[in-house]
Amino acid sequence: MVDVFDKLGRMARAAVYDAAAPGDNPDRASDRCGYGGPLLPARELHLRFRPENYIFRAKLPSGGCAPVLKVLMTNVCENNCAYCAHRQDRDIPRDTISPEELARALDELVRRGAVGGAFISSGDAGGAARTMDRIIAAAELIRRRGFVGYLHLKIMPGSEEEQIRRAMELATRVSVNLEAPTAEHLGRIAPDKRFEDGIMSSVKTVAKLISRGVRPPAGHTTQFVVGAAGESDVELLTAADGLYRIDGMRRAYYSGFAPVANTPLEYLRPTPVRREGRLYQADWLLRMYGFSLDELPFGTDGALPQDVNPKLAWARARPNLFPIEVNTADRGELLRVPGVGPIIAKRIIETRRAGKIREPATLLRLGARPLALEYVTLDGAYRPVGEATSGQLELGFGTP
């Protein structure tokens, strides 16, 4: 097993560029599940493979989180994406893990308590259909061994419909990466890939199969590479907003560009973590807060403000809408208050059934951020807590 785990370690390191959760890279923006290591210390595995370096915590359909191994089947790739560490023309060691090796290694990690699932992706080696066959073969072996946990499979653009169907039958979640918001932007960074009749065609096939009852429990997702193609925030979020109208599309991930040596973009500046964080916040406003795209606070250059949370920027531009009375506001109105998210709005509505909320301490105990007090009244009284504690959402990446 040692040789298999050495290979698994190399393929897990190669998968670092595939985003499967906002927090699956500890150097980038975080998510509620956060970044996590194995359930058991690595030393208890008695293996040279150290899974704590390649594990993220995936959000499960049940609402919980599970430690998930992220791995490539191969880092061999026929594409020449300008930003990618595995591009065909880059001189790097190449390796491949077979479906049998991956299934056996994952079974061992699950039995030892190191992981509760897997995210399986791959370089494009031998064309989409052949690559997809290997991913499906690995997933079938994993399920055949009795594993019923979280399994996220990457759909290779250009895969056949029956391959996509089979992957969706096996997976908890599938994903097709757009990488860029438009065909023009994709052409700048991935000239070998096709936007409409390749990537978007696969996205639409997933949606069609979902509409016909082939429904992975956690739906499907996509990923954008942020900052490599010169795209603006408004272009990224316009693309995401359109995707959220597609059946089963759960979310987009925003992966900040980081330059890789010996690639055409090696001298391009890395995308600031703050930009990635603001994109996630604006995305939450679209998916969970009832905001429309034209309400987001884009500048004339199409960028989100970097010095302030987008919902706070929206609220500051509309002083006529505030303060909102906490005891009578509906859920939609509460979600417009900076520092109040969906969970807090639900708690407020449940709490006020037993009596009016009159004290700031009560609102804060429910989880609202102190800044929220600047935008509400409590039984008609305006009781802000002061600037010293209310500015925490200016730069932070927490609840909008």
Query: Residue 37 pLDDT > 50, yes or no?
Result: no
In angstroms, the CA 122 to CA 135 distance is 8
pLDDT in tens, 145-194: 999 999 999 999 999 999 999 999 999 999 999 999 999 999 999 999 99
Q: Are 245 and 277 in contact (CB under 8 A)?
A: no
Query: Residue 75 pLDDT > 50, yes or no?
Result: yes
Once rounded to an integer, what is the mean pLDDT over residues 121-133?
95
Question: Does residue 110 or residue 292 have the better pLDDT?
Answer: 292
3-state secondary structure 41-85: CHHHHCCCCCHHHCEEEEECCCCCEEEEEEEECECCCCCCCCCCC
Q: Are 171 and 139 in contact (CB under 8 A)?
A: yes
Q: Are 284 and 400 in contact (CB under 8 A)?
A: yes
Once rounded to an integer, what is the mean pLDDT over residues 39-66?
57
Distance of CA 378 to the CA centre of its chain: 36
In angstroms, the CA 295 to CA 311 distance is 9
pTM of structure: 0.88
Confidence grade of residue 386 (pLDDT, cut at 50, 70, 90): low
In angstroms, the CA 312 to CA 289 distance is 13
In the chain, what is the straight-line distance between the N-terminal and C-terminal CA atoms, in Å?
47
